[in-house]
Structure 1
């Protein structure tokens, strides 16, 4: 009898010491073999996704700013830019279009400070975030920049230009190609460059460094795109980002999963999350 009890105890011990596979997500529209299945399962495991009441995830539906922000807020639970802004006067106290009873009020108020360029809009003293606005792939770049700008600026300048040169639906132009010149890069001549949202203008300094135009806006776009594309967080098709297309819910989940893995690989994950 003792031997039987010992054998049962040993069996139970072995059974519970074997890691069991994570339960696959049960979303009706994310079947086995779906291209985003691994990322969806990962996000379910981390407590980020909960789908709709009918059991669907709607992977091909365009995601809006509030939905994407809530996902980032849940996955990266140490990342709260507006609670710890770079400067006290960068803290946002109110969005005109986010009442306190908004379903995403807390994440929106915690995740965006005044330096979230391309995301936060100012009209005099009033600030807007447009929580229900559908996110394009171009706008996703600005949103991710709001959270991971420090990582993005670690990309070496030569790699930034190399990556950008391979993206066909943005324009990379040297100052020299604009017809403006100055013996002192960074002077007023730089600000005379006619800018376009999808154009990134740059010049080489004598030190070998890169100067981006338009008071740093081009630098923001350049380093953000280089980090996202260089780490395959944002994919290109036929050398195009398809920047005008909406970001789908499935694409957003995959981008966040890949970001998590990049931070894990470089050893900085614990700065952003405890999950």
Structure 2
């Protein structure tokens, strides 16, 4: 059944993640249109997605929790939240123009699972296409997530009885019974995974057919794990469009279930071309890079590196603050980029033992550090050109 699936390797131009930096409120309650009494079920998830830079608000201070989510927006959120899904050799995706703003994310995520996450599917001809501007329904989200994630919380494969019991509980996802497999085969030619109907065969309501099993198993798995669920009356609302408040909640739940398997360390690629990557694990640890600057004259007389702020190996405590300092015979000024905001710190600040440069990084996955020598003319081969830049927790 799951042999149909492949595991390979999130936003909108304005909505969420973007080319411009929109300062986010300290918490979901800071958005003018997120009423804590109305959205109490989504507050934690909104905060999580904001803190992890998966989504942002709008320039007017709103979050627009009721706004429907497109396939492109959904894809970019997934791409950012689960880098472990990205394809190592991405290919163009049918229906997504190379000029589309989310083209790369579609290529990274859907290479290899093609038809299973597509928006138009024909399993008879094995043809498919994607619609990046399509508004996502709850059923669409279920099918795409099921195609991408092979293992959800280590759950064992459900029995036939468990699948049927779950289908009986979910009242608005229809089951359609066929007396024979021939009649089933004639019917299935007209539909795909995107049809919220599960076909069964015979008196025992067999659902072993590949596509039927995939749908029934997806419903059971995501319901059982509490990620996308029916309400207490058994309504799944498969055709209901998913809102921003709902999608961040679904993805947060999914992250809490599978994050360790699909979010490898480091969670980001080097943002600075040529920069190296260092890991900062906890209190008392330090990370840094040193060079003889003379040999980097052709690279703007500077050094750069990314510091990944992994959780402490001791008690799994997050890193809240870091200190940046310089040891160099050259006069180095350092640019530190935190949450897309670049700040210049001078050599005098970075070598002050009484009042060190201390930066808040709570909840951030990484920072970027770039040093520049203030007097490049002093970089002569016979000179003392050594430089070390440290970041300590």
What are the ranges of 5 or more consecutive residues in structure 1 without an aligned counterpart? 1-21, 85-90, 182-187, 264-268
1:183-233 deviations in whole A, cap 9, x for unaligned? xxxxx56524567633213459x9xxx6423xx211121111111112221
Match in the other structure for 1:266: none
Question: Would the alpha carbon gap of residues 115 and 212 (structure 1) be closer, same or farther in structure 2, given more than 3 Å must change?
Answer: farther
- Secondary structure of the equivalent of 1:99? coil
Residue 272 of structure 2 corresponds to residue 270 of structure 1: no
1:4-53 deviations in whole A, cap 9, x for unaligned? xxxxxxxxxxxxxxxxxx94243222243423111100111111111212
What are the ranges of 5 or more consecutive residues in structure 2 without an aligned counterpart? 1-24, 268-393
How many residues matched? 227
Q: Structure 1 residue aligned with 2:208, among 201, 212, 216?
A: 212
Question: Would the alpha carbon gap of residues 193 and 254 (structure 1) be closer, same or farther in structure 2, given more than 3 Å must change?
Answer: same
1:76-128 deviations in whole A, cap 9, x for unaligned? 12112x436xxxxxx6434343223x221211111113444252547999863
More helix by share: 1
Residue 215 of structure 2 corresponds to residue 230 of structure 1: no
Q: Which structure ranks higher in relative contact order (CA pairs < 8 Å, sequence separation ≥ 6)?
A: 1
Residue 104 of structure 2 corresponds to residue 106 of structure 1: yes
Question: Would the alpha carbon gap of residues 240 and 73 (structure 1) be closer, same or farther in structure 2, given more than 3 Å must change?
Answer: same
The 8 Å contact of residues 178 and 184 in structure 2, kept in 1 or not, is answered as: no
Q: Measure, in 2, the Cα distance between the counterparts of 1:117 and 1:154.
A: 21
Question: Would the alpha carbon gap of residues 43 and 116 (structure 1) be closer, same or farther in structure 2, given more than 3 Å must change?
Answer: farther
Q: Measure, in 2, the Cα distance between the counterparts of 1:96 and 1:201.
A: 29
The 8 Å contact of residues 94 and 109 in structure 1, kept in 2 or not, is answered as: yes
- The residue correspondences of 1:44-55 to structure 2 (distance < 5 A) are 44-55=50-61
The 8 Å contact of residues 163 and 220 in structure 2, kept in 1 or not, is answered as: yes
Q: Which stretches of structure 1, 4 residues or longer, exceed 4 Å deviation after superposition?
A: 122-127, 193-196
Task: Give the Å deviation of 1:67.
Answer: 0.5
Question: Would the alpha carbon gap of residues 122 and 199 (structure 1) be closer, same or farther in structure 2, given more than 3 Å must change?
Answer: closer
Q: Measure, in 2, the Cα distance between the counterparts of 1:222 and 1:235.
A: 13
TM-score, length of structure 1 as denominator length: 0.71
More strand by share: 2
The 8 Å contact of residues 95 and 126 in structure 1, kept in 2 or not, is answered as: no
The 8 Å contact of residues 212 and 219 in structure 1, kept in 2 or not, is answered as: yes
Question: Would the alpha carbon gap of residues 167 and 131 (structure 1) be closer, same or farther in structure 2, given more than 3 Å must change?
Answer: same
- The residue correspondences of 1:82-161 to structure 2 (distance < 5 A) are 82-83=87-88, 92-100=91-99, 102-113=100-111, 114-117=113-116, 119-121=118-120, 128-151=129-152, 154-157=156-159, 158-161=161-164
Residue 17 of structure 2 corresponds to residue 27 of structure 1: no
Aligned-residue Cα RMSD (Å) equals 3.2
- Secondary structure of the equivalent of 1:117? helix
Question: Would the alpha carbon gap of residues 95 and 52 (structure 1) be closer, same or farther in structure 2, given more than 3 Å must change?
Answer: farther
Greater Rg over alpha carbons, structure: 2
Q: Measure, in 1, the Cα distance between the counterparts of 2:94 and 2:118.
A: 12
**Deviation larger for 119-128 or 48-57:** 119-128
TM-score, length of structure 2 as denominator length: 0.51
- Secondary structure of the equivalent of 2:198? strand
